[in-house]
Amino acid sequence: MNPILIDVPSKLETERLLLRAPESGDGVEVNSAIRYSIEELREWLVFAQTVPEVQETEANLREARAKFINRESLRYLIFDKEIKALIGTISFENINWKIPKAEIGYWINTHFAGKGYMTEAVDQLTAFGLEYLGFKRIEILCDSENQKSRQVAERAGYDLEGILKNDDRSADGDELRDTCVYARTL
């Protein structure tokens, strides 16, 4: 089946969260969250090495929306349903519809860290991927030193399949790093 024909909802919900595909105009709010969280994000994410301008964030979100429509990746913004605040983002990346499998990527606004929101979002996206999209494998890859990301994967029931030595560079590109490969399979 051609992936473009798969009906993928633009909104998913949990008890506390709304996951919504990016829309035009989201750049201001997402950029604000990036700016607030830049010190924590910078250590782990290449895109956070410099503070982006609002226009850059808006362009990135519009590109993400196009990829969502084309089923190349599926990014959702995460909102607290009660206070309507942006918590972060979560996405299916590196989708291989032939297997089918994908990788989950995420980041959180520092203001909302430590409250279980990201684990809740990962649980929701995982269930959606396995049950609705029919993925047979979902991975979470993270730097072996990123304890918070590793804890999210473990709390969401992902198994550590291995650690790839000298597999990637640090987000700033200065040193070689090891990558943890977590997975859930059917």
- Can you tell me the distance from the alpha carbon of 80 to that of 180, in angstroms, rounded to the nearest whole number? 29
pTM flag (> 0.85)? yes
Query: Could you tell me how many residues make up the chain?
Result: 186
The neighbour count for residue 166, using CB atoms within 10 Å, is 10
CB neighbour class for 129 (10 Å; exposed up to 12, middle 13-18, buried from 19) = buried
Three-state DSSP class for residue 183: strand
Tell me which H or E stretch contains 89.
Answer: strand 86-96
Q: What is the mean pLDDT of each run of 10 residues along the chain (186 residues)?
A: 92 98 98 96 94 97 98 98 96 97 98 97 98 98 97 98 97 96 96
